[in-house]
Amino acid sequence: MSARGRANLQFASLGSGSRGSATVVRCNGTCVLVDCGFSLRELRRRLARLGLRLADLDAVLVTHEHGDHLRGVSALARTGIPVWMTVGTAQAAASTWPDSVPLQHFCSHSPFVIGDLEIQPYPVPHDAREPCQFVLGNGTHRLGLLTDCGSSTPYIEAHLDGCHALLLECNHDETLLASSDYPPPLRRRIGGRLGHLSNRQAAALLAALDTRRLQHVVAAHLSEKNNCSQRVRTALAAALACDPIWIEVATQDGGLPWRELL
């Protein structure tokens, strides 16, 4: 670990949900964006809330090709910011991708470094070409990101075990989804093995992890129709045996302000 690596890891959400997702993680002078489901104009507006400008971004990492994660990426790439994604995601996104813009590829099992951030990708079950999620660290602390995942696996648990912060998908309440007015195929897709984590699944995952070092748990990618923050907090707090107020929620419009790992 370098001396610079001792600076604190910070993260924030610019917004989380099916209308657009983006997360920022920084350490020292390195700042990366994970996904960009917002237009460039909207991204600038949301970055400004956090005291950031486009020029502060060193890279954008893309988890998968669904629009709520990819929508703003090609415009962002045209500004010269390096874009990282798996070969599978690049192939699936090729039709929206400008030929003139080069991509950086990573293997979804192999760690890589951008400035002061260590990035460990890991594959997840989701209905995309080569979807992955990330654990980001600075040599001292680790932040685990997990959204857009239909079911947990021992491999996912191994990566998220012992993290200092987690941003964890709590997409839907299973009862609300079952009684929603969504067409049955959509309900099956969301609740299926390649869909999205429910509150119950997220809580079960949390209960299976070593959470002794956890400083922040942020629920993310909540359905605006089939979930609510109260149900999320109740489910995750039961898994951690903590006060529900301790569970944080990244919202679609407001995101989550900066959090810092100490």
Can you tell me the distance from the alpha carbon of 237 to that of 195, in angstroms, rounded to the nearest whole number? 23
- Give the burial string for 150-163 (b: 16+ CB within 10 Å, else e): bbbeeebeebbeeb
Task: Report, in Å, the least distance between residue 39 CB and Zn ion.
Answer: 17
- Residue 258 burial (CB < 10 Å; 0-12/13-18/19+)? middle
- Judged by beta carbon, residue 66 or residue 172, the one nearer Zn ion is 66
- Judged by beta carbon, residue 66 or residue 233, the one nearer Zn ion is 66
Q: Which residues contact 154 (CB under 8 A, 6 or more apart)?
A: none
Can you tell me the distance from the alpha carbon of 246 to that of 117, in angstroms, rounded to the nearest whole number? 27
Task: Report, in Å, the least distance between residue 148 CB and Zn ion.
Answer: 4
The greatest distance separating any two alpha carbons of the chain, rounded to the nearest whole angstrom, comes to: 54
Task: Report, in Å, the least distance between residue 254 CB and Zn ion.
Answer: 17
Q: Where are the alpha helices (DSSP H) in the chain?
A: 40-49, 67-70, 73-78, 87-92, 154-160, 174-178, 184-191, 199-208, 229-240
Task: Report, in Å, the least distance between residue 128 CB and Zn ion.
Answer: 6
Task: Report, in Å, the least distance between residue 261 CB and Zn ion.
Answer: 25
Task: Report, in Å, the least distance between residue 54 CB and Zn ion.
Answer: 22
Interface residue list for Zn ion (CB under 5 A): 66, 68, 148
Task: Report, in Å, the least distance between residue 138 CB and Zn ion.
Answer: 26
Can you tell me the distance from the alpha carbon of 90 to that of 132, in angstroms, rounded to the nearest whole number? 13
- Judged by beta carbon, residue 124 or residue 239, the one nearer Zn ion is 124
Instruction: Return the DSSP state at 40.
Output: H
- Judged by beta carbon, residue 32 or residue 149, the one nearer Zn ion is 149
Other C-beta atoms within 10 Å of 185: how many? 8
CA 203 from chain centre, in angstroms, equals: 17
Please choose, from the candidates 187, 165, 179, 197, the residue with its C-alpha nearest in 3D space to the C-alpha of residue 262: 165
- Judged by beta carbon, residue 138 or residue 199, the one nearer Zn ion is 199
- Judged by beta carbon, residue 116 or residue 148, the one nearer Zn ion is 148
Residue 200, SS3 per DSSP: helix
- Judged by beta carbon, residue 31 or residue 190, the one nearer Zn ion is 190
